[in-house]
Amino acid sequence: MFLILLLQPFFVVAQKISVSIFNEAPLYSLLITPSRGQYRLIMDDTSLAVATNQLIYITRVGDSISVRDASCNLGVCARVALVGLSGNDLLRVKPIMPSLPARLYDDNMNFYIDYNRIMAINLIEQEKYVAAVVEAEGGYNRALEFYRAQAILVRTYLYANLHRHAEEGFNLCDAVHCQAYKGRSESNRVFDATSDTRDLIIVDSEGKPIAAAFHANCGGHTANSGDVWVSSMPYLIGVPDKFCSGGRGAVWQQRIPLSKWYKFLSLQGVDTSRITTSDLNFTQKTRQKYYVVNGVSIQTTKVREYFKLKSAWFNVSVHRNEVRLAGRGYGHGVGLCQEGAMAMAAKGWTYERIIDYYYKDVRIVNSSSLHRLNDGEITTNQNDTLSKNQSEQTEATMRLY
């Protein structure tokens, strides 16, 4: 039963997906409270009705799970599930050890022991998950067209990465390693945007779901995927973006002790005994892939990673015993710039126009056109498109550029 719940075939993805929640926490005990709807508690082969607001404590005992409520022990078992029956079911999940803030989750929850921790798997309807991620990744009180664009990106990522954690027994996790997922969205506008774009995803020229990359702020120009990642993708080509210049992530500064900068350069193979401080100066009028010092080329992304910088777009200058960085942008810079897209939406841009600006030679299609290839990839039939009305809108948008 549990394997069926966790590893669903592709054709039922529109119904439920499985997401590991609190995935980076070593969960030992949790408090679960049904907040809405009608739930049944399943412990191995035992099934019990659960009342709204009933407290259920789940604790690890070796390789098993102990279950109790406020008054008595309910049993020890290998696996536990809380299954919603009403279609509008909501659970409150509060990690006790370690202590973490409580979150609300739609639909069903499974618990079992693996990887030396309690695994907590949320089995949730796809569109509810998409809405929750849109809010977690996009923030609050944004323009509807931005949320629509973000929803399509989130859904595209979902379809392209359905099996990312298949070997671990679930589809996705809740960390930024996959997509940030912090439980149920409470925003009507986010739900509207998700509903308005239901089942829509972005595919490349071969009909495959794209790598739906996005970031907070590009600093004025998005990055080429090949300058940031190992592989280059033809639809992820840098474009100028004047819209994000007023965003919070547009510019930044950071100071680093000169001794730490020299240590980093030494690790990259630079002979620091043969350079002067003026050799360290570096200006990026446009995004550059490399920071060159004394003939040694160092990827700007490697500088960003080592010093935990906001972006890889920065200028370098030396003042006495410190290196001063003047940077632009927040994030890897590839794909959609969220603060740019927010400004576009505020100016009346549609989600189709926003997506068309940041991703080149792509199409927005209905996910029902996807089918499996023999190697496990998914693609679309090149003849499968949106409805006639949606297609005309997309073509009109493309003609603007």
| Residue 227 and residue 81 share a domain | no
Cβ–Cβ < 8 Å for 253, 325: yes
Share the mean pLDDT of the chain.
89
Domain of 323 in residue numbering reads as 251-328
The label of the residue with tokens 């739609």 reads: 106
pLDDT at 45 (0 to 100): 87
pLDDT at 370 (0 to 100): 74
| Residue 230 and residue 366 share a domain | yes
The span from the CA of 363 to the CA of 383, in Å, is 12
Sequence-distant (6+) residues with CB within 8 A of 72 are none
In a domain, 129, yes or no: no
Q: How many domains does the structure of the chain reveal?
A: 3
| Residue 255 and residue 236 share a domain | no
pLDDT at 176 (0 to 100): 82
| Residue 320 and residue 184 share a domain | no
Helix (H, G, I), strand (E, B) or coil at 343: helix
Boundary of a domain, candidates 328, 354, 389:
328
pLDDT in tens, 330-357: 999 999 999 999 999 999 999 999 999 9
In the predicted structure, residue 391 carries a pLDDT above the cut 60? no
In a domain, 81, yes or no: yes
Boundary of a domain, candidates 269, 294, 328:
328
The span from the CA of 288 to the CA of 310, in Å, is 15
pLDDT at 367 (0 to 100): 87
DSSP H or E stretch at residue 61: strand 56-61
In the predicted structure, residue 381 carries a pLDDT above the cut 60? no
| Residue 224 and residue 350 share a domain | yes
| Residue 232 and residue 314 share a domain | no
In a domain, 133, yes or no: no
| Residue 317 and residue 372 share a domain | no
pLDDT, greater one: 285 or 384: 285
In a domain, 131, yes or no: no
| Residue 226 and residue 359 share a domain | yes
pLDDT-derived band at 371, boundaries 50, 70, 90: low
C-alpha separations of 196 from 54, 200, 395 in Å: 36, 9, 19
C-alpha separations of 75 from 79, 120, 265 in Å: 11, 18, 58
DSSP H or E stretch at residue 212: none
| Residue 313 and residue 351 share a domain | no
| Residue 260 and residue 236 share a domain | no
In a domain, 143, yes or no: no
Helix (H, G, I), strand (E, B) or coil at 351: helix
pLDDT at 379 (0 to 100): 53
Tell me the average pLDDT across 99-117.
96
In a domain, 246, yes or no: no
Cβ–Cβ < 8 Å for 54, 71: no
Q: Could you tell me if residue 75 is left (phi over 0), alpha (psi between -120 and 50 degrees) or otherwise beta?
A: left
Question: What does the block give as tokens for 330?
Answer: 């927040």
pLDDT in tens, 51-94: 999 999 999 999 999 999 999 999 999 999 999 999 899 999 99
pLDDT at 375 (0 to 100): 43
In the predicted structure, residue 394 carries a pLDDT above the cut 50? no
What pTM was computed for the model? 0.85
| Residue 228 and residue 257 share a domain | no
Burial class (CB in 10 A: 0-12, 13-18, 19+), 381: exposed
Burial class (CB in 10 A: 0-12, 13-18, 19+), 94: middle
Question: What does the block give as tokens for 273?
Answer: 């005994």
In a domain, 158, yes or no: yes
Boundary of a domain, candidates 312, 328, 344:
328
Residue 210 carries which DSSP code? P
| Sign for the pseudo-dihedral over CA of 60, 126, 105, 211 | positive
pLDDT at 231 (0 to 100): 87
In the chain, DSSP finds a helix count (H) and a strand count (E) of: 10, 24
In the predicted structure, residue 32 carries a pLDDT above the cut 70? yes
Residue 222 carries which DSSP code? P
Residue 223 carries which DSSP code? B
In a domain, 78, yes or no: yes
Residue 369 carries which DSSP code? G
**Can you state the angle between helices 258-267 and 300-307, rounded to 10 degrees?**
130
Report the candidate in 214, 220, 213 with the shortest Cα–Cα distance to residue 328.
220
The span from the CA of 350 to the CA of 192, in Å, is 15
The label of the residue with tokens 């997922």 reads: 181
| Residue 104 and residue 20 share a domain | yes
